[in-house]
Amino acid sequence: MGFMGNVLRSLIGQCCKPKADSDEAGYHGVTAATVGVSALAQDLYNFEITSQVPEGLSQHVVSSKKAQINWYRKLSEAWRETKPPPKTPEEASRLIVLTLKRHQQADVEGFLTFYGLPLPHILVELTSVTPPSRPEGLKFELYTLPVDRKAVGDGDGMTVYVSTMDPRESAIVPTEVQVAAFERSEARTQRKYDVADKLRKKINDLGYRVIVLQNQEVLARKYRIRLRGIDAPECQMDYGQRAKEALADIVQDKCLRVLVFDEDQYGRCIADVYCDGIFLQESMLKKGLAWHYKAYDQRPELDKWERKARAKGIGLWASPNPEMPWDWRRKNKCEGRKIKAKNLQIPMDENY
């Protein structure tokens, strides 16, 4: 029993074993970052059908098979009640630690090791943050539509969309966009798809997009966001892809609260961003996947979170002297311009 879970677990030490900063997909698109989560999900599914626990678990824990069955029963219930279910190793580990908190620590750690998931002492502890209602310097606030994973350009930037039904947005939609959206809808009703495609391009060129959500079309305005106060490795640097994936894991399919304080030379909104109570800058700094950008932001909490990650050797701080992104950009000005241009025009799915 649990054959697919066993196959996935075997990949942890085989085709999906990560390099220092590898994010390559393995068997059936499972990556080194998610194979343990997939194996656990499969084993919980098998348990609900067969009441069997996976073979090999007893080599990692000291408790009896009867106790193990009790663990899977509890975890199966917790997994089903968690909406959405865990997607990242950190989320899965937290669910396991919370669900099995009354059991022996050695068993919990053995269980996590069995699935290749982060142990309790290396989990990033995040503060559940509710931002001030009106922080000093705030220009305006956005509430986004669910974020597409492909809209994350790197570890500190993304493209988001805000519905024009939002009170702030509804008052500033250009007439040209409103007319184009109406004419496109009419053209699609009449099956004049070539006309509709031209109007869609016009809407996109004006900084808006028609997004399909739950089979409904929503007219939305595009915003390019730069996380305030941090600087993540560029995608072509060590840990650059890992930082990008970590940010995408947090925001994928989530609605964000975006507090905009400024605009940079590229037209991006400089913002603090919150996702389900997670302060994105805090998460990236504590995971060791970004620097505190002290030249532009002096907030002491950002410095504290960076120093904690440094002290633990987490993420890029596993290297004794990681190259700073602003130094890398200075040395690679031409390449840096190409990267920036690419990030400012992130390809999006047709329906997003």
Point out the residues that are catalytic: 226, 234, 268
Contact (Cβ atoms closer than 8 angstroms) between residue 257 and residue 320: no
Residue 120's CB is within 10 A of a number of other CB atoms, namely: 14
Dist. CA 260–CA 221, nearest whole Å: 15
Beta-sheet pairing, 157-163 with 216-227: antiparallel
Dist. CA 250–CA 319, nearest whole Å: 24
What is the DSSP secondary-structure string of 272-302?
A: EEEETTEEHHHHHHHTT--EE-TTT---HHH
Among candidate residues 207, 304, 225, the one with its CA nearest the CA of residue 261: 225
Contact (Cβ atoms closer than 8 angstroms) between residue 78 and residue 49: no
Residue 29's CB is within 10 A of a number of other CB atoms, namely: 8
Q: Which element (helix H / strand E) includes 343?
A: helix 333-344
Residue type, 119: L
